[in-house]
Amino acid sequence: MARVVRFHEIGDAAVLRIEDLDVPPPAPGHIRIRVSAIGVNRADATFRAGNHLVLPKLPSGLGYEAAGTVESVGDGVSGFDLGDIVSAIPQMEPDLYNTYGEFASIPASFAVKHPSVLSMVEAAALWSSYLTAYGALVEVAHVSDGDFVVITAASSSVGQASVQIANMLHATPIATTRGRQKVQALLAAGAGEVIVTEEEDVHDRIMSITRGNGARVVFDPVGGPGVNALANAMSPNGILLEYGLLSGKVTPFPLFASITKRLTMAGYRIDNLDAGRLARGKRFIIGGVERGVIRPLIAKTFPLGEIVQAHRFLESNLQVGKIVVTTDA
């Protein structure tokens, strides 16, 4: 038996329950890990609330990011031994692995032995955020030396990963945040400039920072009417990548800016990474960790018994960085 988080109805964080369930053996091609730390992602909360791209089949588990120790190996698995320290490489759906618990069974092809310089908590905070940022900025936008990269909602874990990766690529990350209370934390975390959207004109500030040239890349999880200002502050042949729906409002297509500046606007998901891109992403991220230029910023940790509080903190939007839940395993 193991403690597992499930929910039996769609709703706010209070619907999450900790239940004792049997632990099945790993399926062929899978490994079972004893989970030490769980990465909490925005998709977990939207899935629980019924606002995700897919609806849960109740009762449902959730979670796709975790770090732990290999406890059992399924048939046909090679390259992993009992006792190996591994992390789950996340896929898009928040109930695919059900990592919210003391054990999780994950495909061996989506497990990685994480660098020894990382703690379990840091390893659980790594892959979802950094692969999302890597795929968008490196594989799709081809960010390079001298680029200006606008990163909206930059205090999120993906935002923080994007700032670090932009700096690795010798680009200038321009972070946006709604209020002034996070400005110093974002600058300390590597943002080249910070725009406070509740106080400043986003278009004018971007144009000022870029000396009138505009930003070549925008990486945005917010959507909504603000997309127009972002598009109008981009340079010719720029690329605007949308990877979230945080605004909850209709997102217009910036037709005039797209035509006059020959912009590309596209949706982005972490599962845009095919096998080749995923392999390159692993090498890029592990290399950055080993060189000390990639390091997950941990906003706060919670024990598994406080999973409801962890989700409430996530939805408070007070955090800068990643929220991690530990199992005390």
Bridge partners for 105 per DSSP: 32
- Give pLDDT tens digits for 128-161: 999 999 999 999 999 999 999 999 999 999 999 9
Q: 227 falls in which pLDDT band (50, 70, 90)? A: very high
- Give pLDDT tens digits for 234-287: 999 999 999 988 888 999 999 999 999 999 999 998 877 788 898 999 999 999
Res 92: pLDDT:
59
Cis upstream peptide for 59 (omega within 30°): yes
Whether the per-residue pLDDT at 317 is higher than 90: the answer is: no
Whether the per-residue pLDDT at 310 is higher than 70: the answer is: yes
CATH number of 2-126+296-326: 3.90.180.10
- Closest by CA to 157, choosing from 122, 184, 192, is 122
- Give pLDDT tens digits for 230-245: 999 999 999 999 998 8
Res 94: pLDDT:
72
Res 189: pLDDT:
93
DSSP per residue, 162-227: HHHHHHHTT-EEEEEESSGGGHHHHHHTT-SEEEETTTS-HHHHHHHHTTTS-EEEEEES--STTH
Identify residue 78 by its one-letter amino acid code: S
Helix spans in the chain (H): 42-48, 120-124, 127-134, 157-168, 183-188, 202-209, 227-232, 255-261, 275-291, 307-316
Whether the per-residue pLDDT at 12 is higher than 70: the answer is: yes
Q: Write out the two tokens for 145.
A: 């030396």
What residue has token string 């209709």? 250
Cβ proximity of 76 and 43 under 8 Å: no
Within the chain, all domains assigned CATH 3.40.50.720 are found at: 129-271
Bridge partners for 214 per DSSP: none
Q: 329 falls in which pLDDT band (50, 70, 90)? A: low
CATH number of 129-271: 3.40.50.720
Q: 292 falls in which pLDDT band (50, 70, 90)? A: very high
Within the chain, all domains assigned CATH 3.90.180.10 are found at: 2-126+296-326
Least confident of 77-91, 266-280, 298-312: 266-280
Whether the per-residue pLDDT at 73 is higher than 60: the answer is: yes
